Amino acid sequence: MSYHVPVMLEESLQGLAITPDGVYVDVTFGGGGHSRAILERLEKGRLLAFDQDSDAMANLPDDERFIFVKHNFRFLKNFLGYHQYPKVDGILADLGVSSHHFDAPERGFSFREEGPLDMRMNTRMDKTAADVLNDKGERELIQMFRQYGELKSARRIAGLIVKARQSVPFVHISDLLEVLEPVLPQVGRKKVLAKIFQALRIEVNEEMHSLEQFLLQTADVLKPGGRLVVITYHSLEDRMVKNVMRSGRIDGVVEKDIYGQSNVPFRLITRKVILPNEKEITENPRSRSAKLRIAEKV
């Protein structure tokens, strides 16, 4: 089972400022690359890892310092309390879709291979990408492609989908590709397809809603001096992470007290976003769009 090489591994570990006896959380376990590297730096410390995908369980390390939580990271606070670690020293989130998902045709994440229109990160969920395409109203589809895919052709894409499904429902990736053909440019075809599939994936998995819930819990569960390290892969994620790190709020508005002093839960460790170097991009092309941000609980 192939999972992606952990992106910006050393930068992430440095950002966490790991202490051997600390308690850390990897909220996107996946192939376990980041988690294993954290465990190597712990002595009596603990690591809790979240992942809603059953496939990730094949990668679990056999380590008594490790606790696995098979749930979405939006339940961060609940499960930290349940496992009696209400306050932690560091939280890592690598929000990228793993190579395993893209390389498994039966999961339906990639337009490069035939498979079902699925895209569920948690296969216990009911709603698939096919359900979204077959059931959502035209206005909802326009909004989805415009908001989550940032596509200028959102209206035309939605119109083609609504017209096509009147005859035959969407089931396979090839069904969607055939319908999209009139809207795909000769130059930049893959880029447009990637945005369409991104919008569908975000909708199916409620990614932005989950990310918002997760981020708003981080200040409550981090100890003073604890680190929040987040790797994003598209502008919607990055904007939300940047806003929360700067203000503690999704909208980025900094609240001030009656004396005009800023009331923020985090101190930025890196004011400028950290990007992968050329060597990493060459060795792991999927790291190209990654952005790393680090903040510390005040």
pLDDT digit string (tens) for 21-62?
999 999 999 999 999 999 999 999 999 999 999 889 999 999
CATH class of the structural domain 9-99+207-297: alpha beta
Residue 3: pLDDT over 70:
no
Q: Which residue has the tokens 């502008």?
A: 235
pLDDT digit string (tens) for 68-100?
999 999 999 999 999 999 999 999 999 978 767
Residue 256: strand pairing partners:
262
pLDDT digit string (tens) for 199-234?
999 999 999 999 999 999 999 999 999 999 999 999
Q: Amino acid identity of 216? A: L
Cβ proximity of 226 and 296 under 8 Å: yes
Fold match between 9-99+207-297 and 117-205? no
Whole-angstrom Cα distance, residue 1 to residue 287? 19
| Residue ranges per structural domain of the chain | 9-99+207-297, 117-205
pLDDT digit string (tens) for 150-200?
999 999 999 999 999 999 999 999 999 999 999 999 999 999 999 999 999
Q: Which CATH architecture has domain 117-205?
A: Orthogonal Bundle (1.10)
For the entire predicted model, the pTM comes to: 0.94
pLDDT band at 260 (very low <50, low <70, confident <90, very high): confident
Whole-angstrom Cα distance, residue 127 to residue 250? 26
